[in-house]
């Protein structure tokens, strides 16, 4: 195509554009209205989609880049040898009431149990009345997006137990619980929490990152799922029978009954 | 046979259009404002591969809001009616397959959703409701002409717009 030909075509296009503009200004002609409305619709749609995706991702990834607030607890609740396989035992062996708690760090009712009765339980442990065996099981492992938070956090809590820091780690994770269906915390955030709670041993980070206890936790989940008494998380058992923890005063009455 | 006048049909069509717009806007808003639950609701249908859960759970509320906005404005009414009907058919198929496979889920149609107890499912009601919405969409496909619609303004000339303005 020659240069003259091109400029002639350009001129024609400009002329027809001018004609269109004039007819638009006069308020006549369907196609021009259609063009304007289509353009506006496309822009509005693009804003809605881009804004919506950004907003949704922001709300789903709210935990990204945050620090889990460390939640201190009494040092008397933890011992260096508190981890027993995939469980953690807190309290004296001589305690009259022995409880088993199955929970998942992603489970909202577990956070409710912790919020309502966590400090009562810890007080009773400290008083020597209660011994608790914590079973942190990855029941809701595929209910975070991306999946895996239940297992990662359960493993990290056992790694913290190896450093004698299970209780504050456990309490901190429940106090800052991520929402189901959203992003949990990644290993780096879990390691940072341990360090903020005073863990200095380098083994802690390697334990968290390696998923050292993943297999044991999955096995524990399989085992408890076969127990007909197990009703999901949280399940609280006393001497092998399920305790209704939603009733106020269940813990005090257990301790009183044990005399 | 009694045949309603075009103006009556236009008025009914307007109600249909605005009704369906309300359905999409309410359901889309409920879904986008609880993105975690929407993800779990999509997951509970157990149809999509894991890689598609996040994109679909993000896109679905936006699609519903867009359909609602177009219907509210009365823009491209017939096409939006077709898109609505297709989406509703997908929803009905999703609920039906959950029912047929014996899953126990809530449809999450207006927010919520996910796994529920065995006795808590409401599959017949959910399907009936979606079929009702599907009827609205079909009306707009068959007869997209409605009042207070951008479509009408687009296809009309300038004088008509002026008379409409005068009426307001």
Residue A178 has pLDDT above 70, yes or no: yes
- Selected residue with higher pLDDT from A30 and A96: A96
A97 lies in a domain? yes
- CA nearest to B14, candidates B119, B148, B108, B136: B148
- Whether residues A56 and A98 fall in one domain: no
Give CA–CA dist A92/B105, Å, rounded.
44
How far does the CA of residue B63 sit from the closest CA of chain A (Å)? 8
Instruction: Tell me which residue in B54, B62, B154 faces A52 most closely, judged by beta carbons.
Output: B62
**Segments forming the whole domain that contains residue B82:** 7-167
The minimal CB distance from A30 to the residues B37, B75, B154 is found for: B154
Phi-psi region of A136 (alpha: psi -120 to 50; beta: other; left: phi over 0): beta
Number of cross-chain residue pairs from A and B with Cβ atoms under 8 Å apart: 65
How many structural domains comprise chain B?
1
Percent of the residues in chain B that have a pLDDT greater than 70, as a whole number? 92
Task: Kindly state whether residues A52 and A79 are assigned to the same domain.
Answer: no
d(CA A154, CA A188): 14
d(CA A111, CA A33): 57
Residues A169 and A228 in one domain: yes
pLDDT at B157 over 80: no
CB contact under 8 A, A179 and B36: yes
Boundary residue ending a domain (A60, A89, A104): A60
Residue A159 sits in the same domain as residue A228: yes
Q: Which residue has the higher pLDDT, A173 or A74?
A: A173
Phi, psi of A178 (to 5 degrees): -75, 160
Residue A65 lies in a domain: no
Beta bridge partners of B105: B115
How many C-beta neighbours within 10 Å does residue A223 have? 13
Q: Confidence band (pLDDT; 50, 70, 90) for A7?
A: low
Please indicate, yes or no, if residue B153 is contained in any of the structural domains. yes
Residues of chain A whose beta carbon is less than 8 angstroms from a beta carbon of chain B are 26-28, 30, 33-34, 37, 41, 44-45, 48-49, 52-53, 55-57, 59-60, 142-143, 145, 147, 179-182
User: What are the structure tokens assigned to A212, written together?
Assistant: 């050292």
- For residue A15, what are the domain limits? 3-60
Q: With beta carbons under 8 A apart, name residues in chain A contacting B70.
A: 41
For all residues of chain A together, what is the average pLDDT?
89
Q: Residue B17 has which token pair?
A: 């259009």
Which of B54, B62, B66 shows the shortest C-beta gap to A145?
B54
Cβ B69–A30 below 8 Å, yes or no?
Answer: no
Residue A218 placed within a domain: yes
For residue A116, give the CATH number of its domain.
Answer: 3.40.30.10
pLDDT of residue A8: 61
In a domain, B2, yes or no: no
Tell me the average pLDDT of chain B: 90
pLDDT (0 to 100) of residue B6: 87
What is the average pLDDT across B8-16? 94
Is-contact A90 A78, C-beta < 8 A? Answer: yes
**A158 shares its domain with A124:** yes
Test mutation, A181, A182, A183, A231, chain B, max B CBs within 10 A: A181
Which residues of chain B does A48 touch, with a Cβ-Cβ cutoff of 8 Å? 62, 65-66, 69
Residue A246: CB partners within 8 Å, gap ≥ 6?
A: none
Number of folded domains that form chain A: 2
Task: Indicate whether A224 belongs to any domain.
Answer: yes
Segment A102-107 shows an average pLDDT of 96
Judge whether A149 and A185 are in contact, CB under 8 Å: yes
Work out the percent of chain A whose per-residue pLDDT is above 70: 88
Alpha carbon of A48: minimum distance to chain B alpha carbons (Å): 7
| Mean pLDDT value of segment A116-144 | 94
The helix (H) or strand (E) run that includes residue B133 is: helix B123-142
- Burial of residue A79, with CB atoms counted within 10 A of its CB: 0-12 exposed, 13-18 middle, 19 or more buried: middle
What pLDDT, in 10s, does the model give residues A212-249?
999 999 999 999 999 888 989 999 999 888 999 998 88
Q: Give pTM, 2 decimals.
A: 0.81
Report pLDDT for B160: 43
């Amino acid at each position: 195509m020659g240069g003259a030909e091109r400029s002639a075509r350009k001129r024609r296009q400009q002329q027809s554009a001018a004609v269109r503009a004039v007819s638009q200004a006069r308020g006549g002609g369907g196609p021009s209205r259609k063009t304007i409305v289509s353009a506006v619709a496309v822009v509005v749609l693009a804003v809605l989609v881009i804004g919506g995706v950004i907003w949704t991702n922001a709300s789903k990834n709210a935990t990204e880049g945050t620090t889990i607030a460390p939640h201190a607890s009494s040092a008397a609740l933890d011992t260096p040898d508190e981890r027993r396989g995939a469980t953690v035992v807190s309290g004296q062996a001589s305690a009259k009431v022995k409880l088993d708690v199955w929970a998942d760090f992603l489970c909202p009712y577990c956070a409710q149990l912790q919020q309502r009765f966590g400090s009562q339980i810890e007080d009773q442990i400290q008083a020597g009345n209660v011994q608790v065996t914590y079973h942190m099981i990855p029941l809701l492992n595929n209910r975070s997006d991306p999946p895996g938070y239940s297992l990662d956090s359960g493993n990290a809590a056992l790694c913290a137990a190896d450093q004698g820091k299970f209780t504050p780690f456990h309490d901190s994770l429940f106090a800052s619980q991520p929402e189901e269906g959203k992003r949990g915390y990644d290993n780096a955030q879990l390691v940072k929490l341990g360090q903020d709670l005073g863990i200095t041993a380098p083994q802690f980070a390697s334990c968290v990152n390696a998923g050292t206890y993943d297999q044991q936790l999955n096995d524990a989940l399989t085992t408890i799922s076969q127990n007909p008494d197990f009703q999901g998380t949280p399940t609280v058992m006393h001497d092998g029978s399920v305790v209704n923890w939603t009733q106020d005063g269940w813990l005090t009455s257990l301790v009183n009954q044990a005399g | 046979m009694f045949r309603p006048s075009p103006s009556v049909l236009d008025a009914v069509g307007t109600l249909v259009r605005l009704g369906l717009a309300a359905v999409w806007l309410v359901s889309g808003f409920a879904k986008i404002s609880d993105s975690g639950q929407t993800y779990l609701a999509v997951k509970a249908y157990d149809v999509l591969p894991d890689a598609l859960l996040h994109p679909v759970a993000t896109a679905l509320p936006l699609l519903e809001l867009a359909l609602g906005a177009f219907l509210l404005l009365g823009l491209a009414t017939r096409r939006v009616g077709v898109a609505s009907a297709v989406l509703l058919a997908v929803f009905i198929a999703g609920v039906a397959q959950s029912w047929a496979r014996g899953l126990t889920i809530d449809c999450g149609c207006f927010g919520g959703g996910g796994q529920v107890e065995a006795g808590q499912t409401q599959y017949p009601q959910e399907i009936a409701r979606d079929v009702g919405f599907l009827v609205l969409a079909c009306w707009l496909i068959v007869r997209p002409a409605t009042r207070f619609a951008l479509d009408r303004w687009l296809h009309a000339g300038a004088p008509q717009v002026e008379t409409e303005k005068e009426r307001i």
